[in-house]
Structure formats: C-alpha cells, structure tokens
Structure 1
Amino acid sequence: MSENSFEKCTDSFVQWTVGNGGYTVSDKVKVIDYRNVGRGRAMVAVEDVAEGETLFEIPRGSILNVNTSALTRDYPSFGTSQLGEWEELILCMLYEMFVLGENSRWYPYFNVLPSSAELNSLIYWSDRELGLLKPSFVIERIGRGKSQEMFSKVLSYIENQDSDLSLIAKYLTWENFVYVASIIMSYSFDVEDLNPQSDEDDEIEDDDNDSEMSPDKSIKSMIPLADTLNSDTHLCNANLMYDKETLKMTAIKPIRAGEEVFNIYGEHPNSEILRRYGYVEWKGSKYDFAELPLEKLTDGVISHFKMQDQQLLRMIFDIIGKNDTINQIAEGENIILDTYDCYRDGQTLVEAILLLQTVCIIYQIPDILKASEEELTKNVERSFAKCYQLIQSGRITRQCLKAWEKSIELRISDYPSHANRELTPQTNITDITTLRDAMAHVVLQGEVEALRSCRLALRSNYKVIEDSKLLNNILKRKANSAEEDDRDGKRQKQ
C-alpha cells in the first residue's frame, strides 16, 4: 500500500469512528503510521495522559458481532442458526466485507485491516518456514485440521439454506475463510453479551435488566479502534473496560506525550503471540515458556541413574496414574502430563518436580527391581506420600536436582544451535522470508532461555537435602509397617 493510500485509509477510518461510529475520542491520542518500526498503525499520546483517563469510548452498537451485523438484520433466521460463535462471526464478516462491500457500515474499518499478504499468523507459513520453529510445540497448535472442519461446517450450512443467504457461497472460498478467520483470531475481543439468547434449559429467569452480566456470557466481536492498539506484555498501559452502554479504553498508568499506547492481548508466550497474531516481541514476551515433554523428564532419570530397563518406569507411571491412594494425596490432580511448562521467570509446574522426585527416590530403594507387583505398589504409595510432603515443605533431594538438570539439558539439545544466540533484528524488516526466519529464531531463543532459567531456579526455589534422609524415612516407615503386619498376623493365629 502506498504512503498516500495508507494515510487516506487511516484518516477515513478515524473520521468514521467519530462520525458514523459515534465514538468519543480524546484529543490527547492520535492514530499514526508506525510502519517504520514494523507495527503498522498505532495509537500514540500527543499530550500527557493521567492514569484512569478515558482514551476513547465506543457505543456497543458500533462493535461488529452477530447482534449488530447486517446479516442478522437482513436474514433474521440466521440468528437461530445454532452455529458456534466463530462460525457466526466469520459469516457476518464475509457478508459485510464481500457481499455489502462499500455499502457496509464498517467499510472504512475493513480498509485499515491487513490484507492476507500482510498476515504472518502461522496458518500462512509454508512447511519450510514452520520447520524453523521445531522443536517448539506451537507447531502442533496451528489447527489446520480444525479450520478445515469448521470451513466444511460453514459451507454445509450455507448450501442448505433456502433463502438468498446462499449468495455468500460465491465468496466462501477456502482462501477467504482462512483470511477472515485469521483476522478474527488476531483482532477480535470477547465482549460481555447484554442480550444473550435465552436457553430453553435455563431454570431461572432474571427479569432485572440492571443486573450485572454473568462473566461467562460473552460474544466474539470486532472492536474498531480498540484493535488499533499494539500489544506488549512489558509495556501495557491501557485496558478496555466494559459497561452497559459503552466500552472504554482507559489508561492504567500515566502515559507521557510521545509514548505509544499499548494494550495486552493476553498472558501469552511469543510462540502463542506468533500463532494467534502473526508477530513477536523482539525482546521476548514477559510470559515466555518452554514445554518439557514427559519423555525428556524420564530420559533425564534414566541417563542420570544409568538404568537402561524402562519396565520399572512404566510400572511406576501406571501405579501413579491409577492408584486411588495416590489420587487422594494429589487431590485429584493429574501428575503425569504430556508436557510440563517451564517459565521464563524460573517457575515450573510442581507436578514435574513431584513426579521426578518420586521416581528418583524409588530408583534408590534397595532391590526395587526384584519387588513383586504388590510390594512395588506399596513402595510407590509410600514414596509418593513422602515426596508430596517434601515438595510442599519446599525441599527436594540432590539426586532429583541432578536428574532435573539432565532432563533440561536433554531438552535444550533438541533446539538448533542458533537458538542459543541472541538475535536483535531490525524492526522494519520488509522481506517476508527474512522476517519469518527472524520471528522463528526469537521464539526458539525465548524457549531456550526459559529452560535455562528453570534449570538454575530449582536450586533457589527449593532447599536441597541428601537423598539418604528421605530414603531412610521411607524405609523406616516400610519397616514399621512390616512389623505391624507381622503382629496382626500373629494375633490372627492366636
């Protein structure tokens, strides 16, 4: 898009917000061209803004959703389609953008949305480009299969309509579907729905129109201007607030003249920011994390203890997963997960440490490989209970720490060597291949940094004790239990 065209679309859109849109926009902010730093349009303070000030206010009737779209107005039966909120908003957007076009109320808004060629969400990446993200698990969350299922569902719905609603069919191509769905994923908000469809199964009807909305009643919506704000997990200084009649973008801290206004799209790591929104935070997201697969956790144990036979490990996992006593101790929480999150700040899921500590101490029980199934079950129950108490008290054993460090090392070794090097790219990269290569690098770099942080943090997050202390406690209890069983047996004989 040429500079003149870009500015013309921006001016037209801003005029629309305060005209047809009915917005109230503070004179202290302005939408500007930030393409020179790779952020497209942005909102910037032109005067100092105090904490709590409203930057702009949006009438609920000016946001785009199934309640406000012309599709529902022109075809009332669509309002009872029984489609999901994603499918409904996709059809509303297709109708407004392609069927109505310039006649759509939101036409000036559509002109400032990026084209498909400008989107970098992962569904647009080639297989080669996605390969750059290995071994990040974000690749498994792209959801192409689910997108195709949704496309087939929407297409079937349209083709089975008797009304002129079928005129959308000519625009319902896979390319248009992916484009609109990507725009919705990148720019939509979940807004409290003040006019939810009543469910036939509702047992209680609330006739008080002034009552507060239930937080689970929301509707997926496009909010022009609110989605112009860029997001930064470190620099967020404004949030969208909701009331009955309007939505207000409010400063949550002072914003100085010349500073950009940032919202936050969620507490997402860079991998998820890239998947959903098609960009990355070049200095890393505040919420970056890596995923440690269960197999790496177990590989760390096997490597550390130099035990090649995995039969014992499988039996331990089977007992932990099915044992009622262990389930009660864990309060119903699953301990054995496919992956365990390791965060940039050094925090990790306690389930990973509990599982690792339990396995490590069981491996040190004398003659454990010769134990019968019943004996092994009792050993696992006792060990899990003691390890649970140990972890709750903020302690781990030395062998658990070493096995954890080995597991992390093995996971880091999955990453390409360049993920260990810091990348500070130019923020105005225009070549799409270079840009995607750089974004993939930053995602992997953030995950490696998170793994390193968790490797080091375990020493400071937990007090390290010798394994003999925990092992003696378990074996002592085992001996006491055996003596009690022996006494019970003698009493029965008498």
Structure 2
Amino acid sequence: MASEAKRHKVDDDTSLQDFLRWCDSVGLVLSTKVRVSKEGVVADYGMLAQDDIEKGEVLFTIPRSALLHQGTTHVASLLEREKFSLESTSGWVPLLLALLYEYTTAQSKWKPYLSLWTDFKMLDHPMFWSKEERDGLLRGTGIPEAVEKDLDNIQREYKDVVLPFITKHPDMWNTRTHTLELYTQLVAFVMAYSFQEPQEEADDDDEDEGKAPIPPMMVPMADMLNHVSKHNANLEFMPDTLKMVCMGPIKKGEEVFNTYGQMANWQLLHMYGFTQPPSDNTDDTADIPVINLYKAATTGSSHDHSKPDGDPQLLEEMWELLQDKGPFVFGKHGCLTDMELHSVLKVLCMSRDEFAELKDNDGWEDEEDEEIISQAFSNDGLSGLKAKWKWLIHEAALLTMRGYPDVDQDRVLMEDQVLQQRLSSRQRKALHVRYGQKRILEKVMELTKT
C-alpha cells in the first residue's frame, strides 16, 4: 500500500506532500485514479480524477483511528474525565480543546494534517469580516444577525467554560497561546471542515429527549473535497472505516465533489465561507420573517375583499400567538415550510369569533392533507391560493425585498461578467447570496400578484 500511495502525482507543495505521506502512515488508502491538487479546482485544495471513474468505485478509505476528535487525541482521557465541566450549548468544547492542544503542539501526531491550515487565512466566514462589511454587503440576508449570535456564543463559551478549564491545566494549555482569537478560528475550522456521523432515527417511544447530539469530527482527506449541490461523491460511515464513494461517472480531469447537504447560499457563506453562483445552487432559499406577514396584515382594509380585515386589536392578539414562529422558507420551487405558513395564514385571516374558538381549544387539528398543502404552496399552486392569502404573501415578500440593498444594481452586476470581476471576493460572495434570495422573492411576488 505504501508504494501505491507514493505513486500519486502531487503538486509542488511541501505541506501537501507531507500530508499525503502521513495519510499513507495512518492507513488511509487513496485510489490511484484521483489526486489532491491546488490547481484546476474551485477553491484551495480539491480532488481531481486522473482517470475515468465509474459509479460505485471507492476513491479512498480512512480508518476510524485516523479521525481527529476528542476521543483520539493525546488529551482524550483528561477530556473524558472532566466532560461534565465542559458541557455547553454548542457541545463542541471537548473537540475544540483537543484541537487547541494538537494544533499548537509540535509533537502532535496530527501535525502533517493540521499544517495544511497554517494560519487559517483561507477561512473567510463572515465572522471574520468587519461589522461594517457584514451590515453593508449582507443586509437583508439574515447573515449579520446569525454572525452576531455566533460571536456572542463563542465569547461566552470561551470565557465561561474554556478559559477556566485551560487555566486549571497549565501543563497542557496556556492563555497566551490558546486565545479567544485562536478559539474562534478553530470554531470556523470545525464549521467548515468537520463531519457529523449520521444518527439512526429512534422510535418516538424509545427516543431519549435529553440525549446530547453526536459531536462533529475531523475527517482527513474527506475535507479536501469541495462542495456543489449536484455532487458526484458521498462519504459513507462503516464500523471500522469511512470511505468516499463515487456516485456517478466522473471523467478524467473533472473535479470530485462532495456535498455538505442541502445548503442555500446564505448557509454556505455563513458556515463555510463560500458561495455558488445562484443559477448553480439548486438548494438556494429566501426567508420571509413572520413579522412581515403580520405587518402586511396590519395594512389590510375592510373595503378590499382581497385583504384581511385589519382589526388592530385582533391582530395584536394574533401577534402574541404567532411572534415566536420562525421565518417561512421559500426555495426555487415553492415554500419549504408550507404547513407552518398555512397555519399562520389561517390565523391572520380569522374572524374574531374564529380566533376566540382557536384560543379556547388551545389550537386546532389541521385535517387538511399535507400533500395538498404542499402542492398549494408550490410555485405551481401559489397563484391558486385564496386572494387574501396571496395578498399577504405578496406584501410580506415585498417588505422583505425592501430590506436588501439596491435590487436593480445587483441585477446589473449579475448580468455583466466584467463588472463582477472588478468586485472583491467578499463583494462577489455577498452578491451571490443577495441576488439568489431576491430572485426567489421576485418569483413569489410574481405568482401571488392579485
């Protein structure tokens, strides 16, 4: 196996060659039909086919002993012994402490792997942008609010959980090296490159509601593959090994892509620091906050039968019931949270007597078929909704659109490749997020116009 691994063509990159030799030493087997490269891939490192690959072929296998998580590092026993003091909302503290230790220890057995990220400069999550950049470039997308929440949680977790722990164990960690800045970088590293092992769905009767989720893990080599929504490889978890398997024919010279799941561009940028062109991302979405439906309802008029009655006192009571609802998510083919939207629209269009009955009964059992509702809120069904419902959705989408920077300017930028090339990387990624969301909202408005 060792001689086979050494035959792989690699770029003139010392860190990459050291990593590939390390892979061979830990029992990771890489197919001779692929190579890791910085050239000819969409971002940073990637994997290219050196020969035609057929569906079902294994691109590489990695033993579980080579995975990096809190149970496989030098500090594993200590982290296990004191795990109750490391509990946090994220559940990531043990892994992050392990990474803090291994990343800064010269003798770490993970050094050839972690050395691929020498200073984390390739991580360009919005959490590393200035607040002015986030608020200016990403206004209306939901990302600035998500990042502020992330940063608050990271700072709180470091101060309340991590700092007391590393202060208690100065022989393994120290506050001069293992700073909040490095901790934040490692959070982004885990966000962008870790994997979550699939959990079997438990029966409702057997499900343990208090059970903590399985923490993420670092999977060397798997994290080299870039993401597209139409991927051609998939990571499979076996009892003793993990393997990357080809999902369809890959031609010589083509890039091998994994998937991080069904990710809208705002999620890709927020969690991974990159985007896809809106036309390429089949999983792109746009959110309509529930408050915008409420605001639309408050502008209704009893003189227009296409609008809700707009009784201020009644609507205020309705808002008390609805304000904890999450946003309504629209994809390229319709509403993805159709049941929730259906329920809210029913409430906002109720008479006072109907709403009183709803409160008396503490809700209602929706007897309508889920498939019928799903069809009604698809792009094919939106135009056939009740006039009042269409008006509310249309006005809420319009209110959401007004939260973005100039719509027409973004359209001009997307249609002119020369102008796009003049943008910085961050400006271009923000444009992808904004424009993709706006296009979805424009479609919703077109289909609900009354």
User: Fold conserved (TM > 0.5)?
Assistant: yes
Does 1:158 pair with 2:166?
yes
Matches within 5 A, 1:81-230: 81-82=82-83, 83-84=86-87, 85-98=91-104, 100-101=105-106, 103-113=107-117, 115-131=119-135, 132-142=137-147, 143-152=150-159, 153-161=161-169, 164-165=171-172, 167-191=173-197, 218-230=214-226
Amino acid at match of 1:445: Y
Does 1:23 pair with 2:23?
no
Query: Could you say which residue in structure 2 is the equivalent of 1:80?
Result: 81
Amino acid at match of 1:450: I
Matches within 5 A, 1:378-457: 378=357, 389=368, 392=372, 394=376, 396-417=385-406, 418-421=409-412, 423=414, 434-456=424-446
CA distance in 2, matches of 1:56, 1:221: 18
**CA-to-partner distance for each residue in 1:434-454, whole Å, 9 max, x for gaps?**
111111111111111222233
Going from structure 1 to structure 2, the CA distance change for 1:340 and 1:188 (only over 3 Å counts) comes to same
CA-based RMSD = 3.4
Is the 1:28–1:55 Cα contact (8 Å) retained in structure 2?
yes
> TM-score, with normalisation over the residues of structure 2?
0.79
CA distance in 2, matches of 1:379, 1:226: 51
CA distance in 2, matches of 1:133, 1:58: 39
Measured after TM superposition, the shift of residue 309 of structure 1 is: 5.3
**CA-to-partner distance for each residue in 1:389-421, whole Å, 9 max, x for gaps?**
599574631232223222212221222223444
Is the 2:140–2:400 Cα contact (8 Å) retained in structure 1?
no
Structure 2, unmatched stretches of 5+, are 1-9, 200-205, 303-308, 377-383
Amino acid at match of 2:183: F
SS in structure 1 of the partner of residue 431 of structure 2: helix
Going from structure 1 to structure 2, the CA distance change for 1:376 and 1:426 (only over 3 Å counts) comes to closer
Measured after TM superposition, the shift of residue 302 of structure 1 is: 3.2
Is the 2:288–2:327 Cα contact (8 Å) retained in structure 1?
yes
Query: Could you say which residue in structure 2 is the equivalent of 1:481?
Result: none
Going from structure 1 to structure 2, the CA distance change for 1:120 and 1:430 (only over 3 Å counts) comes to farther
Amino acid at match of 1:88: P
Matches within 5 A, 1:239-254: 239-254=234-249
Going from structure 1 to structure 2, the CA distance change for 1:335 and 1:124 (only over 3 Å counts) comes to closer
More helix by share: 1
Q: 2:60 aligns with which of 19, 42, 56?
A: 56
CA distance in 1, matches of 2:345, 2:272: 36
Amino acid at match of 1:179: Q
Going from structure 1 to structure 2, the CA distance change for 1:420 and 1:298 (only over 3 Å counts) comes to farther
Amino acid at match of 1:93: L
Matches within 5 A, 1:280-299: 280-283=275-278, 284-299=280-295
Is the 2:411–2:435 Cα contact (8 Å) retained in structure 1?
yes
Which structure has the larger Rg?
A: 1
CA distance in 1, matches of 2:386, 2:324: 20
SS in structure 1 of the partner of residue 69 of structure 2: coil
Is the 1:95–1:168 Cα contact (8 Å) retained in structure 2?
no
Q: 1:313 aligns with which of 301, 312, 315?
A: 315
CA distance in 1, matches of 2:180, 2:417: 34
CA distance in 1, matches of 2:331, 2:424: 28
Measured after TM superposition, the shift of residue 338 of structure 1 is: 4.0
Matches within 5 A, 1:361-380: 362=351, 377-378=356-357
> TM-score, with normalisation over the residues of structure 1?
0.72
Is the 1:94–1:168 Cα contact (8 Å) retained in structure 2?
no
SS in structure 1 of the partner of residue 196 of structure 2: strand
Amino acid at match of 1:26: S
CA distance in 1, matches of 2:355, 2:29: 69
Going from structure 1 to structure 2, the CA distance change for 1:71 and 1:375 (only over 3 Å counts) comes to closer
Going from structure 1 to structure 2, the CA distance change for 1:220 and 1:119 (only over 3 Å counts) comes to same
CA distance in 2, matches of 1:425, 1:281: 17
Going from structure 1 to structure 2, the CA distance change for 1:155 and 1:238 (only over 3 Å counts) comes to same
Q: 2:45 aligns with which of 41, 44, 62?
A: 41
Is the 1:289–1:342 Cα contact (8 Å) retained in structure 2?
yes
CA distance in 1, matches of 2:354, 2:270: 48
Measured after TM superposition, the shift of residue 150 of structure 1 is: 1.5
Amino acid at match of 1:33: K
- 241-250 or 291-300, which deviates more: 291-300
Query: Could you say which residue in structure 2 is the equivalent of 1:263?
Result: 258
CA distance in 2, matches of 1:112, 1:42: 13
CA distance in 1, matches of 2:366, 2:238: 49
Structure 1, unmatched stretches of 5+, are 194-202, 204-214, 322-333, 363-367, 369-373, 465-494
Going from structure 1 to structure 2, the CA distance change for 1:182 and 1:308 (only over 3 Å counts) comes to same
Measured after TM superposition, the shift of residue 46 of structure 1 is: 0.9
Is the 1:292–1:339 Cα contact (8 Å) retained in structure 2?
yes
Is the 1:335–1:355 Cα contact (8 Å) retained in structure 2?
no
Amino acid at match of 2:348: V
Amino acid at match of 1:223: V
CA distance in 1, matches of 2:369, 2:11: 65
